Amino acid sequence: MRVRMTGLAGLTALAALLAGATPASAAPGDASAYAAKLELALLGGSAVSAGPFAAADANGPTSGTFAAVDVPGVLKTGVLDASATRDDKTGGVHSRAVTADVRLDLLASAAGPITAEVVEARCDATQKGVTGGSELVGLSLGKLGTVDAEPAPNTVVDVDLLGVDIAKLVFNEQIRNKDGSLTVNAVHLTLIGGVLGALGSGDVVVSSATCGPAGLPIPMASGAGLWIGLGLLGLVAVPTGAVVLRRRQAMA
């Protein structure tokens, strides 16, 4: 087992290997989240395509809940929950995905079951920028060692069998998309296919949150925006009125 930290360049190279795991994206003021998604082609020809479970979007529905996922030999979970919201006054967006009682059996032959009490991903966008993170409560990696409960962005664990890499686990995966949005995957498992692929190919993502840059704050047509607009108008109108008054006084 090898654990290493990767920067954005390393993540970009890794992303090229992830067939079926194209990052989400979000326009300014948009956000989305889901709790689990599987796209696998397992050894022997078995295909598994499921999810996204408990999907949510800032444009609606803004929350999603799913009772449980049970894919024998692959993934079993408890309750899955996701939310994505927008604050129209500030233009900020927030997305969050939480998966409880996670048991990942896909790597049992190489590492034993991987379990966690709670797997959470979150993403926040304000006028100051876009940030995100992950939390892994009660995580157990079996023979693969340990990872912090709040791992550094893009913490990678290589999984090998008899000296051959068969999979990669990325914790707190953070992908900066071309449109300025951020995708945070709390746990992303990728099977390495090809001739030496001992298990197959594809991806499993547990808890994913995406948010775009913050949108425009405070609509000017109503509410607080109206008062700000009137205030700005006053700043222009007062000096103009003063000039007219002075002209009238000079004429008198």
Structure token digits, residue 232: 């700005």
Average pLDDT (165-178) is: 94
Q: For 17-102, where are the alpha helices, taking DSSP H only?
A: none
pLDDT of the residue at 80: 98
- State which amino acid sits at residue 243: V
Domain assignments of the chain as residue spans, ordered by start: 2-211, 220-252
Q: Mean pLDDT for the chain?
A: 82
Query: How far apart (Å, rounded) are the C-alpha atoms in residues 158 and 1?
Result: 6
Structure token digits, residue 201: 């190919």
In angstroms, the Cα distances linking 205 to 28, 35, 39, 111, 202 are 24, 8, 9, 18, 10
Q: How many helices (H) and strands (E) does the chain have?
A: 3, 15
**Cβ atoms < 10 Å from Cβ of 61:** 11
**Residue 126's beta-bridge partner residues?**
129
pLDDT band at residue 174 under the 50/70/90 scheme: very high
pLDDT in tens, 47-101: 999 999 999 999 999 999 999 999 999 999 999 999 999 999 999 999 999 999 9
Q: What is the DSSP string of 114-142?
A: EEEEEEEEEEEEETTEEEEEEEEET-B-G
pLDDT band at residue 220 under the 50/70/90 scheme: low
Query: How far apart (Å, rounded) are the C-alpha atoms in residues 240 and 252?
Result: 19
pLDDT of residue 42 exceeding 80: yes
Query: How far apart (Å, rounded) are the C-alpha atoms in residues 165 and 147?
Result: 19
Cβ(34)–Cβ(23) below 8 Å: no
Average pLDDT (131-148) is: 95
Average pLDDT (132-136) is: 98
Cβ(1)–Cβ(110) below 8 Å: no
pLDDT of the residue at 110: 83
Q: CB neighbours of 60 closer than 8 A, spacing ≥ 6?
A: none
pLDDT of the residue at 203: 96
In angstroms, the Cα distances linking 249 to 149, 237, 238, 239, 240 are 74, 19, 17, 16, 15
pLDDT band at residue 148 under the 50/70/90 scheme: very high
Cα 1 vs. chain centroid, distance in angstroms?
Answer: 26
Of the candidates 155, 165, 163, 154, the residue with the CA atom closest to the CA atom of residue 192: 165
pLDDT band at residue 225 under the 50/70/90 scheme: low
pTM for the predicted model, two decimal places: 0.78
